[in-house]
Amino acid sequence: MSCDYSQVSSTLKVIRWDEVNEDLGSDVRGIVNDRTTVNGRYSLRQTPGNADLVISKPGRNDSGRRFRCQIQKSDGAFIISRDAAILTVYYLDQPLVTASKSIVDEGQPVTMTCNKPDSDPVPNNITWYKNGKALNTIYISKFTTSARNSLEIHIEAATADDGGYYTCKAESDQFKGKDGKTSAQFELRVIEYCTYFTLCFILS
């Protein structure tokens, strides 16, 4: 977070950052200044005409916190930033694949769901993978997907080819490509009718 004081021509006495509430006036908590440059997770990084508030390892619970810069000139007068800088922390948890069944007889239906992870912002893209390869569920007639951004895959009549390891990957505007999060593998096993019948015949 940046505090620009390049327009201040007089000598400065103190540069400080405060945490404030929505009213910008009450519950003020001084967290760092240029006399004590480190206070917990906070530090001050100065360049000519600018003082940055640096917060180490911000977490999702820090989102929405407000910080304001305050400068005291050598004559004792204060210059206080008009608006607060609001901290936004983006995050994306790992999605989870669940299914109506993990073992299904050939010809039977099965539904697999990619449970949207906790995140900010909400994921805007879900990609399904089978055995490590991306699935294009739009152009494969056996798949139907839910209207919720392809969160679910419905297979009306499973075949042996549908068996394998499935994962889903969630992405958002802030977490794309290698920064997206992929679920753990889910194994779907499809028991072929002929194999099942032969097994039943042997057992009988």
pTM of the full structure: 0.77
Which neighbouring-strand residues pair with 105?
A: 191
Residues constituting the chain: 204
CATH code of the domain in which 76 resides: 2.60.40.10
Q: How many helices (H) and strands (E) does the chain have?
A: 1, 21
Please write the tens of the pLDDT for every residue from 120-133.
999 988 999 999 99
pLDDT band at 110 (very low <50, low <70, confident <90, very high): very high
Distance (Å, rounded) from C-alpha 154 to C-alpha 133?
Answer: 18
pLDDT for residue 106 is more than 90: yes
Q: In this predicted structure, what is the pLDDT of residue 194?
A: 59
* Residue 181 and residue 143 share a domain: yes
**Domains held by the chain: number:** 2
Q: In this predicted structure, what is the pLDDT of residue 71?
A: 87
183 within some domain:
yes
Based on its alpha-carbon atoms, the radius of gyration of the chain, rounded to whole angstroms, reads: 28
165: containing domain: 91-192
Residue that finishes a domain, picked among 53, 69, 86: 86
* Residue 53 and residue 20 share a domain: yes
* Residue 96 and residue 45 share a domain: no
Q: In this predicted structure, what is the pLDDT of residue 204?
A: 37
* Residue 97 and residue 81 share a domain: no
